[in-house]
Amino acid sequence: MAEQTIRVEIYNQTYSIRSDGDNEYIHDLAEYVDGKMREISSGTMTVDSLKVAILAALHIADEYYQLKHNQAQSDAQLATRSSECSEMLDKLLKNRDFDAPVYDGTH
């Protein structure tokens, strides 16, 4: 996709963003940041947009790191369970080999 300029509004400021990605995705990101900034602004009663932006960035970074941590835990659990399943399957196949009748070439 060719690079294009997308206009978004965040916290009453218009920004032109160059992207070769999905326009709707860029707008969704901008809406998310705008929402975070407005949420923080109403909770802290500050009008300093720089402070609001920094606090929003910290909140978004916190969300990101929590999700990253949760994903790492899920990945570790999945790896453990996958290993357990593999071991169980190996044991099952080994036991099956011992229990299987030996074919001697006759009926």
Question: Is the distance from CB of 41 to CB of 51 less than 8 angstroms?
Answer: no
Residue with tokens 């606090």: 55
Question: Is the distance from CB of 52 to CB of 37 less than 8 angstroms?
Answer: yes
Q: Note the pLDDT tens digit of each residue in 31-89.
A: 999 999 999 999 888 889 999 999 999 999 999 999 999 999 999 999 999 999 999 99
Question: Is the distance from CB of 22 to CB of 6 less than 8 angstroms?
Answer: no
Give the helix ranges, DSSP H, for 1-107: 23-44, 49-99
Length of the chain: 107
pTM exceeding 0.85: no
